[in-house]
């Protein structure tokens, strides 16, 4: 009997230990540290819904009310939900997408309001709402319905848990539009009592957007009503505004799963999405698969840090760095091309949503470290756009060129990939595309080539100074590409063009100053004013956009000490109460605006003038003050991964000041350690000794056990696998004036 009791006790303890082990395993899952609500309040413009890394579908709740705050469909301060749509932009200033709105309802509530265009809606509470990578859930309080969302790459999966009701409905609204978006033609066809197919064509920021879809439901609907411009009609129906309402009787706690496969090419592609990625209705299986996809990607960087809040921020930023670019092509390679034709990607996945003015700075360099295979597909996608239009994309989405922002910043992405050995693309075609995009006569490139700068155009918001600086940087990238390919003539031409920034430098004001066509500077000029001459910035913020020649910038202002004084002023000249700051001027430290991308490299520039401790102090300040583990956790638009990638790099202790150089300048790491898992099984390890909130200053640096006297690490060193150790202290070590890589040379 005693033996039997011992066995029972042993089994009980074993089972308890197993449960404890499982709980511990769940606790250490990195997806548990991701907070998708960061950026859903304030200026972040992110969405909390379900998606997978770089997925085509972003299934997320829509408040249903337009406005800047709700430009991603959702705003944390709101209290209603009008449905769940399948496409969203992450952290942009562009009000587009929100395609295929689905909303469950019943007889409990029928109120309608003008603010959301009289669509069905329900109140909700954040206390009964949750979000994690690949999953979103909310209780629709007015209906007593629980909504859950998950996704695969090309499908969105809904699970609704209903109360008992004989008037339960699921609304599928193709006429629903928000902000810039407007449907041009929609189509619905009832195939049978479990299947609906159709498409939604629309215009907005993407002038010719197409989403073909197939919806399948786990329970046959007993009847339906289909609408054309608000009037009941018959299936099939085609018009600008169409909608279908599925009618059900539901028992208490009955669940219905609705799954949507999409394609930008055709309905056959949408069927294929469902058949391959979601062939069943097991919501939990698909949710677990989505979570595992995220866990695999997040595991590429494994950090230790004493402060759990920092761990939540880090992994949320790593998560948000993978919400764009987004998949565009089907399983058979078909997609809607930028030439408005159905194209086919052979041998690669076609991506779009390239916010290049933002993401060339840090997001794409981050991808070259942790997603090199995907970078190959991204470069091939940029080249596909070139073959379709004759130019590389500026800001492309959903198979459209939006021509938003400035520069030809696909160039540094391509050139960086080339030098980093990511060469699974046509090098000759890539070079041709870079040259063509830099010599096109649109967007004032013709005048830039003629005069050596973009002149002021008083009739237009032409961002003349910003264009000159951005073009000059891209020209430097082309020069390096030409040099590597032994194109000596092109190298000399573009190297000369890369110095065009000097043509807008004004010795009197010591700023980059707008210039008239006759070669004279504009007479009235106040550097801190926001004007049509600078793209979403002022002269203080754009002065530093010479990432390819910091030495030349120092020389032209009178040497390192003068540049140091100007940097000091940049971070101390605070806006006055009467200064008018635009919506994008956020995250201010003096004139530095962390909420907008042109400032992102500036704090690292002290490394180039032998005052690295000033970089270290500022980077810590930005890391500590401009990111928070709360809905209002971004100081500006997240911008498709750029704001988050800045954090990932800087938290690890380094950053690509010149994104196409293959060099990362040191800052001040906040992690205690990090293991970055690279391709081919290699490991890059970062360690900090004596790291703390107060110990923000680097005392010494070692690489693979050997002391180094420089303020940078190269991409080549990282990808070989190495160990980088920072020893930190409370006071600046001004005796260490480590050298910085020459900014005008490529170090791969």
Three-state helix/strand/coil letters over 449-464: HHHCCCCCCCCCCCCH
**Which residues fall within 8 angstroms of residue 678, CB to CB, at 6 or more apart?**
369, 370, 684, 718, 719, 721
Whole-Å CA distances, 40 to 71, 90, 162: 10, 10, 27
Q: Which of 344, 368, 468 is nearest to 420 (CA)?
A: 368
Listed as ranges, residues in the chain with pLDDT below 50 are 1-26
Q: What is the pLDDT of residues 326-367, one digit of tens each?
A: 999 999 999 999 999 999 999 999 999 999 999 999 999 999
List strands edge to edge, sheet with 242-250. Answer: 60-62, 83-85, 101-105, 165-173, 242-250, 223-228, 231-233
Q: Give the DSSP H/E element, type plus range, for residue 248.
A: strand 242-250
What average pLDDT is seen over the chain?
Answer: 95
DSSP strand pairing (673-677 vs 101-105): unpaired
How many other C-beta atoms can be found within 10 angstroms of the C-beta atom of residue 727? 18
pLDDT at 393: 98
Contact 270, 212 (CB under 8 A): yes
pLDDT of residue 19: 41
**Tens of pLDDT, residues 484-513:** 999 999 999 999 999 999 999 999 999 999
Q: For residue 155, what are the CA distances in angstroms to 103, 201, 259?
A: 17, 18, 7
Q: What gap in Å lies between CA 130 and CA 163, rounded to an integer?
A: 20
CA distance 639 to 94: 10
Closest CA to 59 of 287, 313, 316: 287
Query: What is the rounded CA–CA span in Å between residue 48 and residue 65?
Result: 17
Write down the pLDDT at residue 93: 93
Give the number of other CB atoms < 10 A from CB of residue 513: 19
Task: Match 């299986």 to its residue by tokens.
Answer: 285
Specify the DSSP element, H or E, that contains 289: helix 283-298
User: What is the reported pLDDT for 27?
Assistant: 56
**3-class DSSP assignment, residue 674:** strand
In the sheet with 145-151, reading across from the earlier edge strand, the strands are 129-132, 135-140, 145-151, 155-162, 254-263, 209-217, 195-203, 182-192, 237-239
618, 589 contact by CB (below 8 A): yes
How distant, in Å, are the alpha carbons of 255, 354, 614, 629 from that of 694? Answer: 53, 38, 15, 21
**Distance in angstroms (rounded) separating the CA atoms of residues 704 and 713:** 12
Look at residue 626 in the predicted model and tell me its pLDDT. 98
The Cα 627–Cα 46 span in angstroms is 14
Give 343's strand partners. Answer: 335
Instruction: Give, rounded to a whole angstrom, the gap between the first and last alpha carbons of the chain.
Output: 73
Beta carbons within 8 Å of 622's beta carbon, 6+ residues apart? 587, 589, 594, 603, 650
Residue 621: is it exposed, middle or buried by C-beta count within 10 angstroms (0-12/13-18/19+)? middle
Structure tokens at 620: 């810590």
């Amino acid at each position: 009997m005693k033996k039997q009791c011992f066995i029972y006790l042993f089994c009980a303890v074993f089972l308890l230990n197993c449960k404890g082990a499982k709980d511990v395993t769940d606790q250490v899952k990195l997806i548990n540290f991701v907070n998708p609500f960061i950026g859903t309040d304030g200026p972040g413009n992110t969405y909390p819904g379900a998606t997978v890394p770089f997925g085509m579908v972003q299934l997320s709740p829509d408040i249903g009310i337009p406005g800047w705050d709700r430009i991603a469909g959702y705003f944390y301060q709101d209290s209603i939900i009008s449905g769940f749509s399948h496409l969203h932009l992450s952290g942009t200033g562009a009000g587009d997408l929100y395609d295929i709105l689905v909303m469950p309802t019943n007889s409990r509530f029928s109120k309608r309001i003008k603010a959301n265009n009289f669509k069905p809606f329900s109140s909700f509470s954040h206390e009964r709402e949750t979000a994690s990578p690949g999953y979103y859930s909310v209780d629709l309080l007015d209906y007593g319905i629980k909504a859950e969302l998950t996704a695969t790459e090309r499908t969105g999966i809904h699970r609704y848990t209903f109360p008992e009701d004989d008037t339960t409905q699921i609304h599928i609204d193709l006429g629903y539009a928000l902000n810039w978006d407007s449907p041009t033609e929609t189509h619905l066809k009832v195939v049978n009592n479990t299947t609906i197919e159709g498409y939604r064509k629309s215009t907005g920021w993407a002038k010719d957007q197409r989403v073909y879809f197939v919806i399948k439901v786990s329970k046959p609907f007993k009847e339906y009503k289909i609408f054309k411009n608000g009037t009941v009609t018959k299936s099939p129906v085609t018009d600008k505004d169409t909608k279908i309402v599925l009618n059900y009787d539901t028992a208490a706690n009955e669940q219905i799963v609705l799954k949507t496969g999409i394609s930008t090419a055709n309905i056959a592609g949408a069927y294929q999405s469902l058949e391959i990625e979601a062939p069943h209705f097991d919501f939990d299986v698909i949710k677990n698969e989505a979570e595992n996809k995220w866990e695999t990607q997040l595991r590429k960087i494994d950090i230790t840090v004493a402060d759990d809040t920092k761990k939540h921020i880090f992994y949320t930023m790593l998560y948000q760095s993978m919400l764009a670019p987004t998949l565009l092509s089907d399983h058979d390679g078909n997609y809607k091309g930028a030439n408005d034709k159905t194209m086919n990607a052979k041998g690669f996945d076609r991506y779009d949503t390239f916010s290049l003015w933002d993401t060339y700075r840090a997001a794409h360099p981050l991808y070259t470290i942790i997603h090199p295979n995907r970078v190959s597909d991204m470069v091939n996608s940029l080249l596909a756009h070139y073959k379709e239009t004759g130019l590389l994309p500026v800001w492309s989405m959903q198979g459209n060129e939006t021509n938003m922002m400035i520069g030809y910043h696909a160039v540094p992405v391509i050139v960086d990939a080339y030098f980093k050995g990511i060469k699974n693309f046509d090098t000759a075609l890539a070079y041709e595309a870079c040259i063509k995009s830099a010599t096109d006569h649109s967007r004032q490139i013709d005048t830039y080539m003629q005069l050596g700068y973009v002149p002021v155009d008083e009739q237009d918001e032409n961002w003349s100074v910003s264009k000159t600086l951005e073009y000059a940087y891209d020209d430097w990238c082309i020069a390096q590409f030409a040099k590597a390919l032994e194109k000596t003539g092109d190298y000399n031409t573009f190297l000369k063009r890369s110095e065009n920034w000097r043509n807008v430098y004004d010795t009197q004001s010591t700023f980059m100053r707008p210039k008239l066509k006759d070669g004279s500077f504009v007479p009235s000029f106040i550097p801190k004013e926001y004007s049509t001459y600078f793209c979403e910035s002022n002269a203080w913020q754009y002065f530093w956009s010479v990432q390819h020649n910091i030495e030349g910038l120092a020389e032209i202002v009178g040497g390192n000490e003068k540049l140091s004084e100007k940097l000091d002023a940049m971070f101390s000249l605070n806006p006055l109460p009467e200064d008018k700051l635009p919506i994008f001027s956020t995250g201010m430290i003096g004139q530095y605006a962390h909420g907008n991308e042109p400032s992102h490299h500036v704090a690292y520039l002290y490394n180039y003038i032998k005052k690295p401790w000033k970089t270290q102090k500022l980077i810590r300040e930005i890391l500590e003050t401009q990111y928070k583990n709360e809905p209002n956790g971004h100081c500006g638009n997240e911008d498709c991964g750029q704001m988050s990638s800045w954090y990932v790099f800087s938290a690890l202790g380094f950053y690509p000041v010149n994104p196409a150089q293959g060099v990362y300048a040191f800052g001040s790491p906040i992690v205690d350690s990090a293991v970055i898992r690279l391709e081919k099984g290699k490991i890059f390890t970062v360690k900090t000794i004596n790291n703390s909130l107060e110990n923000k200053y680097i005392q010494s640096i070692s690489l693979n056990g050997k002391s180094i006297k420089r303020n940078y690490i190269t991409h080549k060193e990282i990808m070989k696998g190495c160990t980088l150790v920072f020893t930190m202290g409370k006071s600046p070590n001004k005796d260490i004036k480590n050298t910085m890589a020459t900014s005008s040379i490529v170090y791969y």
